[in-house]
Amino acid sequence: MISQVFILSSKGDHLIYKDFRGEAGKDAVNKFYEMVTALTGGQPPVVMKHKELHFVHIRQGGLYWVATTKADASPFTIIEFLNRLTALVKDYCGCLSEKSVQMNFALIYELLDEVVDFGYIQTTSTDILKNFIQTEAVSSKPFSLFDLSNVGLFGADTQQNKVAPSAAATRPIVSSQGEQGGKNEIFVDVIERMSVVIGANGVLMKADIEGEIRVKCYMPSCSEMRIGLNEEFSIGKSQLSGYGAAVRVDECSFHQAVRLDEFDTYRILKVCPSQGEQTVMQYQLCDDLPTAPPFRLFPSIERDSGGRLLMYLKLRCDLPPKRSLPLLSLFSPSLFSSLSQELSSPDQSAELQPKNKAVHWEIPRFPGGAQLSALFKLEVSGLSAASLQEVGPVSLSFELPKYTSTGLQIRFLRLSPIQPGPSQRWVRYVTHSDSYTIRI
């Protein structure tokens, strides 16, 4: 059971505080902030203990979401609850940021009141909650640069204008009546996270993909939705059939509301999405990418006569030619003092980040099939043969819209019966680099 829930900004301002059981005083909030700021980077801050009180917190949207408990509760439950709470706040307020929480504090109090009673979680389903929540969300200005930087899980939403109306997925699910258009929207996102390690010799050492299908529904009452996946979709290793075409995952799990009676034969998921965001399917694929990894790096590192370190990096994108890459950044930990660079095109930039001991190379556009190169000349104090060892690994972070590395596609999306009035259905794909590391 949960004793208190509070939300703090990263600077320690109290945004929301709710005491459910009256077991612990309000000073717990300050105590928590004291403890969390006193931590050095390396300590695990998820669970902290002060006297009898356990603090469990998560960080989302730059805020601390904290639950305290005196009993020895299940950590999974509390962490999942906090995650769910952030998701609810995001659903109701549009986005997660200090500003939106501040503006919608009344709504959040109301939510907390309905979601938790006496420290016991009552319900977190939007279907039930929508009957009780009366306060309307105050959304911040619909489109501002500030919001964009906060929006979206992976920042993938910056690409939205290509796929869906801008800021469409970041507005509150319950909006005041009569907001023109977009009322009956439904978004189905296929999001994949890649973690790849490529060895110094170019051999793929590890390639895992964790993916999910997420449905965000704005319809006040949605009838059954049928999501058709690729027909050749297979689960597990044994079912491998035919050549190449098959889309295979190792493990797959579904939301409990998903009905699977047509899944085995037709690969159709049937679900009645409730308002808000939910994950209907999760899947994993380990060590068996159907395609080559999207990026390859060909590094060469040497010392020049002047005691500088020369790093010549050639980066190749193995995606089909039409794709372009929004942003790529590259780190390579090392101990440098100054940097001079030669990049292959002017819109790229590179800078030295002494704090992270890294060179940060940013590539705004990267057409598929292209090859970019960069030459970094680095002054290293006390350069020795061993310093060469210390360079690397290179890590890439990127988002590939309209691309899934497993090849999973959504064939169709049908609502039955057909909704009255205009309804818009959007399907979006994005592959995101969870960790893409290339050893040097």
Partner 1 sequence: MPYLGDEHTVRELRRALSNPNVQADHLRYRNTIHRVIRVMSQGQDVSGLYSEMVKACATVDIVQKKLVYVFLCAYASLNPELSLLVINTLRKDCSDHNPMIRSLALRNMCNLRLPGLSQYVQQPLTVGLKDKAACVRRVAVLGWAKIHTIQPTTGIDVAVVNELYGLLRDPDPVVMVNCLRALEEILQEEGGVAINKPIAHHLLNRLKLCDVWGQSEVLAVLQRYRPRSEDELFDILSLLDPALLSHHAPVMAATLRLFLSLCSTLPAVCMSALERVRGPLLAAAGSTSRELRYAALCHIQLLLRSEPGLMGEHYKRFFCGYAEPPYIKQNKMQVLVELVNDDNVAMVLDELRGYCTDVNTETSQTAINAIGSIGRSYTDRCLAILTGLLGLKQEHITSAVLQTLRDLVWVCPQCGDAVCSALEGWEDNLQDSQGRGALLWLLGVYGDRVTGAPYLLEDCIDGVRSEVSAEVKTELLTATLRLFLSRPAETQDMMGRLLVYCIEEEVDMCVRDQALLYYRLLHCGIEEVRQVLQGGRRSDPSLGPLIGRPPEPISQWASSFNTLEPLTLGASTVGNSDPATPKPSTLTPNTLTSNAEAMTPTPGDPHLPDCSSGALSLSVSPALTPEEFERLWLQLEKGACLEVCVACPVPRCSPEGLQVALQLVNIQTLAFTPPNTHPWRVYLYTHTSHISTKTPHTLILAELLHTGGEGEKEEEEEGEEEGEGEEEGEKEGEGEKEGEGEKEGEKEGEEEGEGEEEGDKEGQEEGDGEREKEKGLLVVMRQHPGDQTALRGFLSVLTTVLHTLSTHTA
Burial of 6 (0-12, 13-18, 19+ CB in 10 A): buried
- Report phi then psi at 340, rounded to 5: -130, 150
* 125 touches partner 1 (CB under 8 A): yes
* 195 touches partner 1 (CB under 8 A): yes
Which of 28, 48, 174, 186: binder of partner 1 (CB under 8 A)?
48
How many CB atoms lie under 10 A from the CB of residue 116?
A: 21
Distance CA 409, CA 271 (A): 17
293: its two tokens: 């990894």
Report the side by side order of strands in the sheet with 224-229: 268-271, 224-229, 410-416
Smallest gap from Cβ 409 to partner 1, in A, equals 22
Distance CA 164, CA 428 (A): 8
* 253 touches partner 1 (CB under 8 A): yes
* Listed residue (413, 425, 410) closest to 225, CA to CA: 413
Q: Cis omega (within 30 of 0) on the bond before 417? A: yes
Show the binding pattern over residues 146-185: x = contacts partner 1 (CB under 8 A), - = does not. Answer: -------x--------------------------------
* 109 touches partner 1 (CB under 8 A): yes
Which of 83, 239, 337, 349: binder of partner 1 (CB under 8 A)?
83
Q: Of 303 and 411, which has the nearer Cβ to partner 1?
A: 303
Q: Of 206 and 414, which has the nearer Cβ to partner 1?
A: 206
Q: Of 53 and 184, which has the nearer Cβ to partner 1?
A: 53
Number of residues located near partner 1, criterion CB under 8 A: 93
Which of 175, 254, 362, 424: binder of partner 1 (CB under 8 A)?
254
Q: Which are the contacts of 306, defined by CB distance < 8 A and separation ≥ 6?
A: none
Q: Of 129 and 185, which has the nearer Cβ to partner 1?
A: 129
Smallest gap from Cβ 105 to partner 1, in A, equals 6
Task: Give strand pairing partners of 14.
Answer: 8
DSSP-derived letter for residue 158 is G
In the numeric block, the tokens 């703090």 are attached to 8
Smallest gap from Cβ 9 to partner 1, in A, equals 11
H-only helix segments in 66-168:
75-93, 98-103, 105-115, 126-132, 145-150, 160-163
Site for partner 1 in 52-81 (CB under 8 A): 54, 56-59, 69, 72-77, 79-81
Contact stretch for partner 1 (CB under 8 A) within 228-236, 344-352, 393-401, 416-424: 393-401
Q: Of 31 and 184, which has the nearer Cβ to partner 1?
A: 31
DSSP-derived letter for residue 243 is S
Contact stretch for partner 1 (CB under 8 A) within 41-49, 156-164, 267-275, 317-325: 41-49
* 236 touches partner 1 (CB under 8 A): no
* Listed residue (205, 194, 197) closest to 392, CA to CA: 197
Which element (helix H / strand E) includes 66? strand 63-69
Q: Of 98 and 185, which has the nearer Cβ to partner 1?
A: 98
* 260 touches partner 1 (CB under 8 A): no
Smallest gap from Cβ 423 to partner 1, in A, equals 28
* 193 touches partner 1 (CB under 8 A): yes
Contact stretch for partner 1 (CB under 8 A) within 127-135, 141-149, 165-173, 317-325: 127-135
Task: Give strand pairing partners of 190.
Answer: 213, 429
Site for partner 1 in 276-335 (CB under 8 A): 282, 284, 286-287, 331, 333, 335
* Listed residue (239, 153, 209) closest to 405, CA to CA: 209
Distance CA 77, CA 120 (A): 11
* Listed residue (430, 320, 432) closest to 370, CA to CA: 320
Smallest gap from Cβ 192 to partner 1, in A, equals 12
Q: Of 1 and 415, which has the nearer Cβ to partner 1?
A: 1
In the numeric block, the tokens 């040097």 are attached to 440
Which of 397, 409, 423, 424: binder of partner 1 (CB under 8 A)?
397
Q: Of 191 and 217, which has the nearer Cβ to partner 1?
A: 191
Smallest gap from Cβ 335 to partner 1, in A, equals 7
* 435 touches partner 1 (CB under 8 A): yes
Biggest CA–CA distance in the chain, Å, is 75
Site for partner 1 in 354-383 (CB under 8 A): 356-358, 382
**Residue 132 near residue 172 (C-beta atoms within 8 A):** no
Contact stretch for partner 1 (CB under 8 A) within 42-50, 167-175, 318-326, 359-367: 42-50
